[in-house]
Amino acid sequence: MLETPSPHDKAAMTDEIHALWAKGAIVVTYDPDAPHVPPPSRPARDGRVNLVEPGKAPRLGKGGSPESRVAILHSLAHIESWAIDLSWDIIARFGQVRAMPRAFFDDFVLVAADEARHFRMLAARLVELGSEYGALNAHDGLWDSATTTADSLEARLVIEHCVHEARGLDVLPATIAKFRKNGDEASAALLEETIYPEEVTHCAAGVRWFRYLHARDVEKKDVGEEGQCVDLADEGDGADEGVVKAFHETVWAHFKGVLKPPFNDEARSKAGFGKEWYMPLTQRPTVPGAGA
């Protein structure tokens, strides 16, 4: 019987697949004639982390004590461990059924590799601080969002990458400052120099492919030759009106709450979406179904 892979195993397997993909050893994204077999609704987990309801998860605190800093790092490691699964799930669940171009696979194989590296670095930092991944309880709110977006690639891109991951961009600078203020420069540097800039590119992938799908669905000329995605992040606001409206409608249809400031405008802009994308989402529209 095969053992259930641990997050460390998944990170290692991700490295192997990414290396094969990067050197061109994997030449076919999917067989268009083969029946689509969707991935499991919930990825296998080895049970090393005790899962609890979100309200019962450890309080993270302000980083003023070693225990608080470990709790913050453990929470981040748990998020990254799920992000590995999310990256492969979006490929397996939607790549074939939506006939996505190879550039889509390029992006999310790379995202998976980034998340695997983030997980390993955070797990190693926990060990350096006398703890380990699995030492604390955690919740799986991130995967709950994956479950609710399992039937829509647009919703998955918007909710996971442009709502949840973008929220990470909003709070990471303050988290970095907490570690630095309390003398943990190693953790601050890890977050600031590696995880933060790479998470910007992950949000950018969500924006890019939502734009692509919107353009393809409305038969616009925003798609390059052979179905390759054109990076639209630098287009003017006027070109965004339709896709921004669709973005708002997708958020309201699949997200229960509202977006809460303060926002990291600089990082969000680097990821390809300006204030017109997210500021209207701080209050629900008065007319049901209204997108802006």
Backbone φ and ψ for 138, nearest 5 degrees, come out as -150, 170
Does the residue 64 lie in any domain?
yes
Q: Whole-prediction pTM value? A: 0.89
pLDDT band of 289, cuts 50, 70, 90: low
* pLDDT tens readout for residues 112-162: 999 999 999 999 999 999 999 999 988 887 788 899 999 999 999 999 999
Query: For the chain, what is the domain count?
Result: 1
End-to-end CA distance of the chain: 52
Residue 131 lies in a domain: yes
Per the structure, the complete domain to which residue 134 belongs is given by: 7-20+49-282
The answer to whether residues 156 and 94 touch, using CB atoms and an 8 Å cutoff, is: yes
For residue 286, with 0-12 CB atoms within 10 Å meaning exposed, 13-18 middle and 19 or more buried, which class applies?
exposed
DSSP structure string for 79-98? HHHHHHHHHHHHHHHHTTTT
Quick: pLDDT tens for 184-232. Answer: 999 999 999 999 999 999 999 999 999 999 999 876 444 444 445 444 4
In a domain, 289, yes or no: no
The reply to whether 44 falls in a domain is no
Q: pLDDT tens for residues 68-89?
A: 999 999 999 999 999 999 999 9
